């Protein structure tokens, strides 16, 4: 999507949430559909879609105007889907979770995951526009290589090789940052 940066969705310094909802509702649905594999009820899907735009609106002051809105939307949606599955799991068998207490290893793991996400975000910011789009479509939108290839009108091999190079660069950055695992 051209003109995908946050600044294109502002009118008189106010975020045009109606325009965003109009343009990105199907995008959010596609992410949910790809992640949930038909395991969520329609009510849950509708709730996630509306919560995605509500969270975006609630955090409108924190948005970087130069970043692509689709990355914010994809991140929020993915987190909401994961949270929904966690809640479903918790409600299914609450007894299993009564004694589950966060220990320092879990906190360290969460911190490390955030740092790794920050490294990936910095790498993505430095990518060429085409590479960034491929990365976002594959990892954030959950699109398959074949879908990306068709959408961008390039060969599947080109998509695979670009993703390989991106992963290689991320591994290198992780290694330089002191992380031994991907």
Query: Residues 24-42: pLDDT tens digits?
Result: 999 999 988 888 888 888 8
Residues of the chain with pLDDT > 90, as a percent, come to 22
Domains contained in the chain, CATH given:
1-100 (1.10.1740), 103-182 (1.10.10.10)
| Cα pseudo-dihedral 70, 76, 77, 79, rounded to 10 | 140
CA atoms of 176 and 182, how far apart (whole Å): 12
pTM: 0.51
pLDDT, tens digit, for every residue of 47-78?
Answer: 999 999 999 888 888 888 888 888 889 889 99
């Amino acid at each position: 999507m051209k003109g995908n940066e946050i600044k294109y969705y502002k009118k008189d310094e106010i975020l045009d949430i109606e325009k965003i909802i109009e343009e990105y509702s199907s995008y959010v649905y596609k992410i949910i559909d790809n992640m949930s594999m038909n395991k969520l009820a329609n009510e849950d899907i509708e709730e996630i879609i509306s919560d995605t735009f509500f969270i975006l609106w609630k955090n409108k002051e924190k948005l970087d105007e130069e970043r692509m809105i689709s990355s914010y939307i994809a991140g929020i949606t993915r987190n909401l889907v994961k949270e929904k599955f966690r809640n479903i799991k918790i409600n299914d068998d609450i007894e299993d979770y009564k004694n589950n207490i966060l220990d320092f290893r879990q906190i360290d793991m969460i911190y490390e995951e955030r740092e790794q996400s920050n490294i990936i975000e910095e790498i993505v910011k430095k990518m060429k526009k085409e590479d960034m789009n491929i990365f976002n479509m594959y990892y954030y939108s959950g699109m398959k290589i074949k879908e990306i290839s068709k959408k961008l009108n390039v060969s599947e091999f080109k998509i695979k090789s670009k993703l390989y190079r991106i992963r290689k660069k991320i591994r290198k950055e992780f290694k330089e940052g002191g992380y031994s695992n991907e």
